[in-house]
């Protein structure tokens, strides 16, 4: 069995964290780099990732997440916030990044820029919000896999009031929306969930080969 599959079998959605154990700066940087390298549509990365460590802010977020203890007991909270204003400015910044990184004149990338702008401009605001939110889940999945490789526990979470998160974190002023979050840290010895057998669909139930 591959190391990747072993890691995925090891991980679970941790319910109770050991608040005394913290992710090292080195490992946190590895997690951040994994998220930075995550795939996204066109490579545009239409989101921000806010890492919350401040105890006072986390208490407020906990209240906006119906008292879930992961918000305060985990080492860090990753908040994936999709960009509500993705459009020409973000495309232009991306094209500039490509040009500088690959040494390609921006003029040579005009067709790519026009294509992206054309697709995005044809989306309704609701459709654009859904599209950018989808991209955050790709980054989330990459974070979970990276954490498992480092034997860092992680909990993906959708159970929170996004409007309250947006207010607490100042996202409204930034044109961002809290899409999904993840707690990272180390499981508490008393977390019963670590002993549960993993329940997933069988190959036959999940896959269709045509």
Q: What is the pLDDT of residues 141-175, one digit of tens each?
A: 999 999 999 999 999 999 999 999 999 999 999 99
Question: CB within 8 A of 151, min separation 6: which ones?
Answer: 10
**b/e sequence 69-104, b meaning 16+ C-beta within 10 Å:** ebbbbbbbbbbbbbbbebbeebbeebbeebeeeeee
* pLDDT given at position 178: 99
- For 3-187, CATH number out of 3.60.10.10, 3.40.50.920, 3.40.109.10, 3.40.50.620 equals 3.40.109.10
Positions of the chain with pLDDT under 50: none
Bridge-based pairing of strands 47-52 and 176-185 is unpaired
Domain coordinates of the chain in residue numbers?
Answer: 3-187
The beta-strand segments (E) located in 117-196 are 153-157, 176-185
What are the φ and ψ backbone dihedral angles of 66, each rounded to 5 degrees?
Answer: 55, 35
Q: How far is Cα 30 from Cα 36, in angstroms, rounded to an integer?
A: 10
């Amino acid at each position: 069995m591959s190391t990747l599959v072993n890691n995925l079998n090891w991980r679970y959605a941790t319910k109770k964290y050991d608040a005394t154990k913290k992710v090292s700066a080195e490992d946190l940087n590895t997690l951040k780099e994994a998220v930075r390298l995550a795939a996204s549509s066109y490579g545009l990365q239409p989101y921000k990732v806010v890492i919350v460590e401040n105890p006072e802010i986390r208490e407020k977020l906990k209240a906006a997440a119906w008292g879930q203890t992961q918000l305060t007991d985990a080492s860090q909270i990753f908040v994936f916030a999709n960009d509500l204003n993705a459009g020409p400015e973000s495309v232009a910044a991306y094209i500039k990044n490509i040009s500088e990184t690959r040494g390609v004149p921006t003029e040579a990338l005009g067709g790519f820029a026009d294509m992206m702008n054309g697709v995005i401009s044809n989306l309704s605001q609701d459709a654009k919000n859904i599209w950018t939110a989808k991209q955050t889940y790709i980054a989330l999945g990459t974070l979970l896999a990276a954490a498992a490789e480092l034997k860092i526990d992680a909990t993906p979470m959708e159970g929170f009031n996004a409007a309250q998160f947006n207010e607490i974190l100042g996202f409204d002023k930034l044109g961002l929306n809290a899409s999904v979050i993840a707690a990272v840290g180390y499981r508490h010895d008393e977390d019963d969930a670590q002993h549960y057998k993993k329940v997933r669909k069988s190959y036959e139930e999940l896959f269709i080969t045509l």
